[in-house]
A and B are shown apart, each in its own frame.
Chain A
Amino acid sequence: MAAISSPLAVPTARRELPGDLAMWCFILAELAVFGIFFITYAFARSANVAMFDESQQHLNRTFGLVNTFILITSSYFVVRAVESIRHDRGQACARWLGAAIACGALFLVLKVVEFVAKYEAGITMSTNTFYMFYLFLTFFHFMHVILGMVILGAIALKARAGGYSRASHAGAETGAAYWHMVDLVWIVLFPLIYVLH
């Protein structure tokens, strides 16, 4: 009975892939890129653990943690957006997406503050291998957040204009899947680069 009211309830009858298969191929490719980088990070770290651990101390974990919560929250908003459109509520869908985009923007602001602090401390990608990974991976992820926001923005506009319906909203699911990928990557990236030592 509890499942009926929850917006997160898994529809049991549904067996097909949500969204477009092409997007899933794309997500797989993105995850492969990040995954390979995470593995090379592990190898590079094992070659020089002391240097990695020392450099890691200088990262802003508080910001990292806050950003993790922000992205998870944004993913929740995206889930609510998809749920709304499944009930034919285009305006609500657009509003939830707007909230998710706002989270994304907040994430970017905090990231920029972090980057500026590192830049002012004279840290660049050539400082050492740890900072190379830190700066590259977080910047690469940063660009993905921007792309994700653009995608969510496009969906929000279409949803507001009534472009989706209960029967036809594959586009919204496709964009949502991409956003969840961006979130997922951060959930791995944050503990790996900021915390684990």
Chain B
Amino acid sequence: MQFKSQAVAKPYFIAAIGLFLGQILFGLIMGLQYVIGDFLFPAIPFNVARMVHTNLLIVWLLFGFMGAAYYLIPEEAERELHSPKLAIAMFWVFLVAGALTIVGYLAVPYATLAQMTGNDLLETMGREFLEQPLPTKVGIVIVALAMLYNLSMTILRGRKTSINLVMIIGLWGLALFFLFSFYNPANLVKDKYFWWWVVHMWVEGVWELILGSMLAFVLIKVTGVDREIIEKWLYVIIAMALISGIIGTGHHYFWIGAPAYWQWWGSVFSALEPVPFFMMTVFAFNMVNRRRRIHPNKAAVLWALGTGVMAFLGAGVWGFLHTLAPVNFFTHGTQITAAHGHMAFYGAYAMVVMTMISYAMPMLRGRPANSERSQVVEMWAFWLMTVSMVFITLFLTAAGILQVWLQRVSSTPMPFMAAQDQVALFYWMREVAGVFFLIGLLLYIASFFIKGKLPAHTSDTLATGKQRAVAEA
């Protein structure tokens, strides 16, 4: 850590991990409800568990992105954060708003919550992922604007780097596209159409900029490869992400009532969406292979490489699997989508946040890396979570293929619930994989508390003769 104000990232990271744990617990609850329908009913109905599961995901990732931004932007800009106090104040606003929202979901029926929070003033609730009550949505905008002000001022007065530029454009985009959550036309086609401007433009648009710059930042730090090389990769990757991703929104417009040409555009452009993810994998491995130093934080390097691979598999391969209109005609809204969603969110976004936490948290705690023992536990956690997620994805894919067959292709198509009964075995296996994921996450949390002998404070340059100054450490 080079600047005192980077310390504001710490509470953001801690909150992110805490909410991540909540997300996984609710995931397990609803996973069980897939096979034992009345588990915890009526205390936590399925729709509520699902809402909490997905909302916690979004909120903890946002905490992670914000923490990452507060950590990396001052370091890249080579100056203190414009206002650390504002960053801390916004942390508490966001945490309290988030907690109250979750309590609201769990304590009262959703319709009552809508009534209590003024949904009749401006109807924004009731849409997947955007279920938050109006005050929460307004709170998100305020927190985002305050953060953008804080970070933009830091960048404007400091060194301008590509990583900072890409990060801040990503964050501005995140805030701007969220504004579409306030637009809720009565026309169902228009509603869905612009709903994707939040959901798709986030995860397949501006979030990729945030992902790219976070990954590039950590790779510069842990490999010592020249900034110019890493930044060039970053530009090419984000250019590809935007070329494919923006019009790629069309892959959500196939069957919602939008014009038919979207079937062509959506298919072609989104078919290219794996390309930037593939480049990210090549990028990460390439940079690590060309490293000029052996960074003592091996866990962070592992997370960075893992992000590349899993983002490509989850977002790229599993996305491509059902992105072409003729295929999607059969698969849309099935467990295939759930399989893709799980691995993509974990591989791209959960993992990049953990990459950043893994790199930054030891620095925030005053050391270049955690002890050997702590890192071993963290790497165990990496493998447990990642392998569990691969299995969750495979089981859901199997469930999805069977579901498509039983429900949509066979000569005697089954109704939805009857088909669900037939795929129950895969849901059980998914639940078991989910338990292993939880164990991985608990180990991950435990790794923060494991002490031991700290590695050497300075990073060793590689013995390849390239005795570059370790200026970036």
Residues of A within 8 A of B (CB): 20-22, 25-26, 29-30, 32-33, 36-37, 40, 44, 125-126, 132-133, 136
Docked complex Cα distance between A48 and B267 (Å): 20
11 A-B residue pairs with Cβ-Cβ distance under 8 Å, sorted by A, are: A20-B232, A22-B236, A29-B240, A29-B275, A32-B272, A33-B269, A40-B264, A40-B268, A126-B261, A133-B264, A136-B264
Given contacts A29-B243, A126-B259, A136-B261, whether A36 and B271 have CB atoms under 8 Å apart is: yes
**In the complex, B63 has a CB within 8 A of chain A:** no
Docked complex Cα distance between A25 and B235 (Å): 11
Chain A min CB distance to B464 (Å): 23
Docked complex Cα distance between A87 and B264 (Å): 47
Point out the residues of chain A lying under 8 angstroms from B244, CB to CB.
Answer: 33
**In the complex, B265 has a CB within 8 A of chain A:** yes
Residue of A nearest to B271 (CB): A36
Would you list which residues of chain B between 247 and 296 have a CB under 8 Å from chain A? Answer: 259-261, 264-265, 267-269, 271-272, 275
Chain A min CB distance to B283 (Å): 11
Docked complex Cα distance between A130 and B259 (Å): 15
Point out the residues of chain A lying under 8 angstroms from B232, CB to CB.
Answer: 20-22
A22 and B235 within 8 A (CB): yes
Point out the residues of chain B lying under 8 angstroms from A33, CB to CB.
Answer: 243-244, 268-269, 272
Extra contacts, 7 of them, besides A26-B236, A36-B268, A40-B264 (Cβ < 8 A), are A20-B232, A22-B232, A25-B240, A33-B268, A33-B269, A36-B271, A136-B261
**In the complex, B239 has a CB within 8 A of chain A:** yes
A29 and B239 within 8 A (CB): yes
Chain B min CB distance to A20 (Å): 8
* Chain B residues within 8 Å of chain A by Cβ, number: 18
Residues of B within 8 A of A (CB): 232, 235-236, 239-240, 243-244, 259-261, 264-265, 267-269, 271-272, 275
Chain A min CB distance to B278 (Å): 12
Point out the residues of chain B lying under 8 angstroms from A125, CB to CB.
Answer: 259, 261
How many A-B pairs with Cβ below 8 Å? Answer: 43
Docked complex Cα distance between A30 and B267 (Å): 16
Point out the residues of chain A lying under 8 angstroms from B267, CB to CB.
Answer: 40
Contact of B265 among A26, A30, A126, A136 (CB under 8 A): A136
Docked complex Cα distance between A22 and B279 (Å): 12
A26 and B261 within 8 A (CB): no
B272 and A36 within 8 A (CB): yes
Chain B min CB distance to A25 (Å): 5
Point out the residues of chain B lying under 8 angstroms from A36, CB to CB.
Answer: 268, 271-272
Docked complex Cα distance between A126 and B257 (Å): 13
Docked complex Cα distance between A33 and B264 (Å): 12
Point out the residues of chain A lying under 8 angstroms from B239, CB to CB.
Answer: 26, 29
Point out the residues of chain B lying under 8 angstroms from A32, CB to CB.
Answer: 272, 275
Docked complex Cα distance between A23 and B215 (Å): 22
Which are the 3 A-B pairs with shortest beta-carbon distances? A132-B261, A25-B236, A22-B236
Point out the residues of chain A lying under 8 angstroms from B260, CB to CB.
Answer: 126, 132
Docked complex Cα distance between A32 and B243 (Å): 11
Docked complex Cα distance between A40 and B243 (Å): 18
Point out the residues of chain B lying under 8 angstroms from A132, CB to CB.
Answer: 260-261, 264
Chain B min CB distance to A174 (Å): 12
Chain B min CB distance to A184 (Å): 17
Point out the residues of chain A lying under 8 angstroms from B265, CB to CB.
Answer: 136
Residue of B nearest to A126 (CB): B259
Docked complex Cα distance between A127 and B244 (Å): 25
Point out the residues of chain B lying under 8 angstroms from A22, CB to CB.
Answer: 232, 235-236
B272 and A29 within 8 A (CB): yes
Docked complex Cα distance between A80 and B396 (Å): 58
Point out the residues of chain B lying under 8 angstroms from A136, CB to CB.
Answer: 261, 264-265
Docked complex Cα distance between A22 and B271 (Å): 21
Docked complex Cα distance between A111 and B243 (Å): 23
Point out the residues of chain B lying under 8 angstroms from A26, CB to CB.
Answer: 236, 239-240
Residue of B nearest to A132 (CB): B261
Chain B min CB distance to A22 (Å): 5
**Most chain B CB neighbours (cut-off 10 Å) among A25, A40, A133:** A25
Chain B min CB distance to A45 (Å): 13
Residue of A nearest to B233 (CB): A22
Docked complex Cα distance between A29 and B268 (Å): 13
Point out the residues of chain B lying under 8 angstroms from A126, CB to CB.
Answer: 259-261
Docked complex Cα distance between A20 and B244 (Å): 22
Residue of B nearest to A44 (CB): B264
Chain A min CB distance to B253 (Å): 13
Chain A min CB distance to B354 (Å): 29
**Most chain A CB neighbours (cut-off 10 Å) among B235, B259, B261:** B261
Chain B min CB distance to A73 (Å): 28
Docked complex Cα distance between A126 and B259 (Å): 7
